Amino acid sequence: LDISEVRGIVERVFARQEVLDVCARRDLGAIVAVLGTHGVTQGQISELTGIGQGRLSEWARHKRTPTASSTFEAFADGLAIPPRARQALGLAPIPLGGAGPGPEQSPGGRAALPAQAPSGTARPPTGGLSRLPGLEGVRSELEVVIGVLKAEQDRRKAGLAVRRPAWKNLVFTGPPGSGKSRTAIAVGQAYRKLGVLSSGRVLQVTAADLAGAGPEETGKLVGKAARLATGDLDDQ
């Protein structure tokens, strides 16, 4: 299935009353199973939502049950679930966290499930950071960064050449426990949704992990970390 087919299936499936009833029970495992019967694989759902395939499998087999609001938000945001179904899941009808209006209002903001209309004036997605008080300033700065990347993506979608893409790298400064890692996860999700990265996975390493005894070893360590981060190398 390509992404447009997945989008069509999601819209059709979540329009059905029995699926809305499943949403009201907050049974994500049953939703994963229903999507599976329509050909949407757990791997595709994982890729779109950033939720691990193993976790999805456990839900589908009812070995585990998700409870965290952030999980429901990631699931609904990643699949661009329609407003009625979002409400049935106990979520706001449009994505929270600066993710902007839902698919009906602002489909262009989601690279994971690209839609037909232009982006409009939606705020760039910042991965649910609004749930954490005290990160308003961080969120505001990120919106500028992500807004630039989003505009760039919109130009690409419009068929315009982007010969000099904007850099996506960031510097986070601050003491331990100030939300840097949490924000990095949100940035990963936002970049994936925009389509500027193929995966939202964040690999965390410490500076010492990359500093080798000599240039050759350092080169290997940095290269390996990059390949791990991009999924080109398995961390097993």
Residues that bind another protein (CB under 8 A): 67-70, 131-135, 137-138, 141-142, 144-145, 148, 165-185, 187-188, 191, 196-198, 202-208, 210-212, 214-215, 218-219, 222-223, 226, 229-230
From the CB of 126, what's the least distance to another protein, in Å?
12
Judged by beta carbon, residue 134 or residue 159, the one nearer another protein is: 134
Judged by beta carbon, residue 4 or residue 181, the one nearer another protein is: 181
Judged by beta carbon, residue 17 or residue 206, the one nearer another protein is: 206
Judged by beta carbon, residue 36 or residue 179, the one nearer another protein is: 179
Query: Which two three-digit tokens encode residue 189?
Result: 């999700």
- φ/ψ region of 81 (left if φ > 0, alpha if ψ in -120 to 50, else beta) reads beta
Nearest by Cα to 77 from 108, 38, 50, 37? 50
Judged by beta carbon, residue 43 or residue 165, the one nearer another protein is: 165
From the CB of 39, what's the least distance to another protein, in Å?
27
- The b-or-e profile of 152-188 (16+ CB within 10 A means b, else e) is bbeeeeeeeeeeeeeeeeeeeeeeeeeeeebbbbbbb
| Chain centre distance of CA 108 | 14
From the CB of 152, what's the least distance to another protein, in Å?
11
From the CB of 81, what's the least distance to another protein, in Å?
19
Nearest by Cα to 31 from 93, 70, 78? 78
Yes or no: say if 117 and 107 are a contact pair by the CB < 8 Å rule. yes
| DSSP track, 78-143 | HHT--HHHHHHTTS-SS-STT--S-TTT-GGG-SSS--SS--TTPPPP-TTGGGSTT-HHHHHHHH
From the CB of 195, what's the least distance to another protein, in Å?
11
Judged by beta carbon, residue 106 or residue 153, the one nearer another protein is: 153
From the CB of 105, what's the least distance to another protein, in Å?
26
